[in-house]
Amino acid sequence: MATYLKRGKDQAQIKADQQNVTETVQGILRNVEERGDTAVREYSLKLDHWDPSSFKLSPEQIKTIMESVSEQTISDIRFAQEQVRGFAEHQKSTIHDLEVETLPGVILGHKNIPVSSVGCYVPGGRYPMVASAHMSIVTAKVAGVQRVIACTPPNNGELPVETICAMAMAGADEIYILGGVQALAAMAIGTETITPVDMLVGPGNAYVAEAKRLLFGRVGIDLLAGPTETLVIADESADAEMIACDILGQAEHGPTSPGALITTSQQLAEDTLKEIERQLLTLPTSDIAGAAWRDYGIVIIVDDEEEAVIESDKLAYEHVEILTKNPQYFLDHLTNYGALFLGPETNVAYGDKVIGTNHTLPTKGAARYTGGLWVGKFMKTCTYQKCTPKASAMIGEYAARLCEIERFMGHREQALLRVRRYGE
C-alpha cells in the first residue's frame, strides 16, 4: 500500500487559488474584447511596464537584433531547432491521407489539412523561454501552417533578444513583444492591429493556461500546459543526489511547480528529503524552487513496480523520469504522462531544451486524455465520401429506413431522392 512521506497543498487550497486566477483572467479577456488595442496596451504597461510605439517588430528590428546575438548562441539555437524539426518531420511521415472503397462504389477517405493560422505563446518574464519558440513555431511550420504569429513578453523592460532570434529562425511570420493573458487575448480575439488566429499553442503560467481554457471554442488550443510538473520513479539503484537535482531543476520554473518522488526504497526517500534541503542551500534559484518543494512536493513509498505504476498514473504528471534497474517496465506499463525519460542518461532538461521531443506537455492531470504538442496537433483530419450511382441507390435504401426509425423525415427524403434518381 502506498505511503505518503510528504504531501503538498491540499486540494481545497489549490482550488481556492485557481478561482482567483479564473476571475482575473475573465476580466482581462472581457476588457480586451471590448476595448481592443487600448486594453492590451494598458495591461502591458501595468503588468510588464512595456509601452512601445508598436508591439510588432519590423523586419529591420529583427535583423538588427539577430546581428547582436553571438555566433555561439545562433549555432546552439540552430542545433536545437534541427533536432526539433527532424523529429517533427519523422512524426509527420507517420500521418497519411486515406482513401478506401468500403463497398462496391462507395469511396471513403480522409485528408490531413494544416490549420491556417496559429498563435504561439513563448513565455518569458523571470526566464526567457527560448526553447518554446522551437517547440511551437518550428513544429507548426513542419505541419504546413501558413501564418504563424508569436508573442513573448519583454524582459525587465528590454527586448529578449535570444528569444526573438529563435522565433525568427524558427520561421515566425509576425513577432510581437507582448506577454501574459493580454497576448493570448489579442491573438485569439483580435484587435485593431492584430488579426485573430485559429489556434493558440504554447506553455505558460497558471494565468496563461487559464486564458487558453477560457478561449477554447473561439479558437483551438494545443492543451492546457500550466506550471511544470516532474515526477521521479526510483528504486534502490538510484541515488538521492540525482533525484534531488532533477526535482529542484524543474521546481525553479515557479513557486507552483510540483515535484514528486515515487520509490520502493524507504531509505532512498529519506535520503532524498535530506539531499533536497542540502542542495537548496546552494541553488541560485532556491527561493523559487524551495517554495515549490515546500508547498507542492510529494514523496510516496510503494511496495513494488506495479504499485509505482498505479500511483504514477493517478498523478498523471507532465514529466516522468525513470531511475530504476528496469526502465523498460515503465515504458511498457505507464499510460498517463506527458513525456517519459528512461534511465539516468537522460533528463527533463534535455527534453525541455534540445533533444527533439516537444516540451509543451499536459499538466494538471490532462495526461489522462491527451499527449503533448506535436505536428499532428496542427493538422485537421477531415473525412470525405463519394458514391457511384448504383452504390448511392443501395446506401439510400438503408439510410431511408434508418432515418425513419429516428423520425427524421427530411433526412429520409434526401436518401429516397437518390434511390428514385439512381435506382434501377
Active site residues: 318-319
Could you tell me the CA-to-CA distances from 376 to 89, 173, 341, 371 in Å, in that order? 11, 20, 22, 11
Under a CB-based contact definition with an 8 Å cutoff, are residues 260 and 246 in contact?
A: no
- Residue where the block lists cell 470525405: 384
**Residue 85 C-alpha from the chain's centroid:** 17
> What is the distance between the alpha carbons of residues 142 and 132, in angstroms, rounded to a whole number?
15
CA atoms of 144 and 86, how far apart (whole Å): 15
Q: Give the residue from 174, 202, 170, 191 showing the smallest Cα distance to 80.
A: 170
Question: Is residue 172 a contact partner of residue 78, using CB atoms and an 8 Å limit?
Answer: no
* Cα–Cα distance measured from residue 358 to residue 135, given in angstroms and rounded to the nearest whole number: 6
Contact status, residue 293 vs residue 248, Cβ threshold 8 Å:
yes
Which sign, positive or negative, has the C-alpha torsion 78, 82, 83, 88? positive
Q: How far apart are CA 34 and CA 161, in angstroms?
A: 32
CB 178 within 8 A of CB 44: yes
